[in-house]
A and B are shown apart, each in its own frame.
Chain A
Amino acid sequence: MTACSRCGQESRVKTRGEHFCEDCYIGFLNIKFRKNLDIFRVNFMASSVPKLLVPVSFGLGSLVLVDMLGELLLRQRTNHGGRIGFTVQCVYVGDDIMEWPFGDDLPLIHIPKEKIFSEAFKIDGQPLTDSQLRGLSRSSIQDLEFQLRGRLISDIAKNYEAVVMGYSMTRLSELVISETVKGRGAGIPDLVAPGGRDRIYPLREILDDELQKYAQLRNLQKYVRPDRPVPMVTKMQSIDELVHRYFVDVQKEFPAVVSTVAKTASKLAQDTEECSVCGDGQGVCYACNVMLKARDSEKVIERMPTDDILAKYLLD
């Protein structure tokens, strides 16, 4: 038997070189989680309880986040005679909704995906038409959905104290790479900044593998949405899918890469480009321009040996 390095009970999980029993592991992650929500302790002086908006995707991060929030509320009630430091409203923007395993403390509202195209996004006051949408590549549609969902959440968030999101360190690092390759480098500081724009990422110091183990111990896995199928052919994949697979591969060879990327990105200063699509500004930023104009490429262009380049590009 391997012993938990904290209490001596039987170890169930090993992470960051340390053995944990079930209780100590959940406690270890909860400390990282709770320190980000310290400002929402029970406040006996306050006249009202702050409302938090929690966007969920039914991915691993959002389910673990909501579970931890529920546990925190329970703990507050137990320790403070039924009082709580915050209330939670979860929101899902998308079509195929899943089973919601949480109680009355953690209510969920559902916004169909069409709303983000019809209401959240307009060009010159006009929503994007079906034919405009059809002209976009798979990659651009995913990107556009991500941007518009973010804007819709920001709009809803105006009625809340803060937005709390389930981004893990792994997910944040992956976002840094995918936003970079989409030409969205300017938006990265805003995306990863701790607490930037009243956004809180309580799982920002926790790795996906660690969330996975938490979900196992808490029996959450069956509620996690399975990964959507990815096309086999590279050029049919989206940039997000490609970067995800790449990032999984790089971690096998260089496990430290996740924390390195997260740390590096956190050192970047705000330098946001003005944009009416992904932000509240004027005009269209570089990346949104690429996103809205880019079409599925018919041609595969690679970094190839000279002979292949000549064979491919020379016309006879």
Chain B
Amino acid sequence: MATVPLVRVCERCLNEPPALRRPKTGEKICKSCFYDVFETEVHETIVSTNLFHRGEKVAIGASGGKDSTVLAHVLKTLNERYDYGVEFVLLSVDEGITGYRDDSLETVERNKDQYEMNLEIVSYRDLYNWTMDEIVATIGKKNNCTYCGVFRRQALDRGCVKLGISHLVTGHNADDMAETILMNLLRGDTSRLDRCTEIVTAGTDSPVKRSKPLKYCYEKEIVLYAHFKQLDYFSTECTYSPEAFRGTARAIIKNLEAIRPSAIIDVIHSGEQFVLQKKTKNRMPKARTCTQCGYLSSNETCKACVLLGGLNASRAKIVLDTEPAPDQPSAAAISRSLERLSF
């Protein structure tokens, strides 16, 4: 019997030499088949959920990181290939994190030209009169993500409203989704348990609908896509401390994947089956407006104003208690308030 010579070809097109092993399936495939399968999966997610409509104006939450950069690139590609007729705009938040956000915003500025999309930047400094660096200097390196999460969410909302946009797409990927499902179980976040896997979320406390076109994309495939396409992205992670349980959820999923590569999708599947009991659902808060800033809120005071109240109280305390040194963040913030007053 003649032995068949081992020819290395792409398992999809049986033509090109393979360039990578696909993390989701283990198939050895060529570059163009990888682009095709990756982009087509996103397209199928978009079509099967009627995510966009013709003439819609949609904001892409752009951080300059790999997820949102790949999202912008793929959406531009698909919009042209399948003629969605959607106008995409890049929307970035400047949290005021030295060395992280100022550099990544330069990336977004370049993306603006690369993808021929308009760019809008909203900053914590303008919205709240606090930068994230100042917040961390005040509250310490704990619960940073809680503050940042609340402020960023509202900042993106406000950016959308300013642009007259009611649909925001974000770069959340399958790994993020799986982590979030486990975290919501571990910390008892009932209100988010059955909503966190939905591709579109329209909360009672936000005028903007949010969606996650990359929700089934493995993070590793996003990295590989960005690498092959030589996308211009900023790869440093935020240096502030992550939420409780995020690290442990990430660790267990990494180990689970070693045992069963489908683990990420399995967790998402479970999350999609979670339905809350009626009585729990009825207790969910109704929409109203924040008495302090007038913004949509599920409570009398919105989360951002609650956090800001605490921050401003501690800032006032610093001013009263001590003579602030000129380079202290609180002093910087105060002098900015003065600048505004003098204007």
Residues of A contacting B: mostly = helix
Majority SS at the chain B contact face: helix
Q: Is the CB of B280 within 8 A of A267?
A: yes
Give CA–CA (A213, B206) in the complex, Å.
50
Query: How far, in whole Å, are A272 and B267 apart by their CA atoms in the complex?
Result: 16
Would you call B274 and A297 a contact (CB within 8 A)?
A: no
Cβ A313 vs Cβ B186 within 8 A: no
Number of interface residues of A (CB under 8 A): 54
* Chain A residues packing against B (C-beta within 8 Å): 137, 139, 176-177, 179-186, 188, 234-235, 237-239, 242-243, 246, 249-250, 253-254, 257, 260-261, 263-265, 267-269, 271, 273, 286-287, 290, 294, 297, 299-304, 306, 309-310, 312-315
Interfacial chain A residues near B217, Cβ < 8 Å: none
Inter-chain CA distance A267–B274, complex, in Å, is: 10
Would B252 and A243 count as touching, CB distance under 8 A?
A: yes
Q: Offer 26 A-B interface pairs, CB within 8 angstroms, sorted by A.
A: A177-B182, A181-B253, A183-B262, A183-B265, A183-B266, A185-B269, A185-B273, A185-B274, A235-B259, A242-B259, A250-B186, A250-B248, A257-B186, A257-B187, A260-B188, A267-B280, A269-B276, A286-B269, A290-B260, A294-B262, A303-B219, A303-B254, A304-B220, A310-B224, A314-B19, A315-B18
Q: Which of A184, A249, A267 counts the most chain B CB atoms within 10 A?
A: A267
Residues of B within 8 A of A181 (CB): 182, 252-253, 256, 263, 266-267, 270
Contact A301 B257 (CB under 8 A): yes
User: With A139-B259, A238-B259, A250-B248 known to touch, is A183 a contact of B223 (CB < 8 Å)?
Assistant: no
Asked whether A242 lies within 8 Å of B252 as measured between CB atoms, the reply is yes
- Report yes or no: B259 in contact with A310, Cβ–Cβ below 8 A: no
Alpha-carbon distance between A139 and B263 when the two chains are bound, in angstroms: 12
Contact partners of B227 in chain A: CB under 8 A:
306, 310
Name the B residues within 8 Å of A242 (CB-CB).
252, 255-256, 259
A259 smallest CB distance to B (angstroms): 9
| Smallest Cβ-Cβ distance to A178: which chain B residue | B256
The digit string for B173-207, where 1 denotes a CB below 8 A from any CB of A, is 00100000110111111100110000000000000
Q: Pick from B175, B182, B260 the residue with the most CB of A within 10 Å.
A: B260
Inter-chain contacts of B175 with A (CB < 8 A): 303
A273 to B66 alpha-carbon distance, docked (Å): 36
Instruction: Assess the A268–B276 pair: CB atoms within 8 A.
Output: yes
**Residue pair B23, A301 in contact (C-beta under 8 Å):** yes
Given contacts A185-B269, A269-B276, contact A297 B220 (CB under 8 A): no
Q: In the complex, which residues of chain B have a beta carbon less than 8 angstroms from the beta carbon of A312? A: 21
Most buried by A among B175, B245, B270: B270
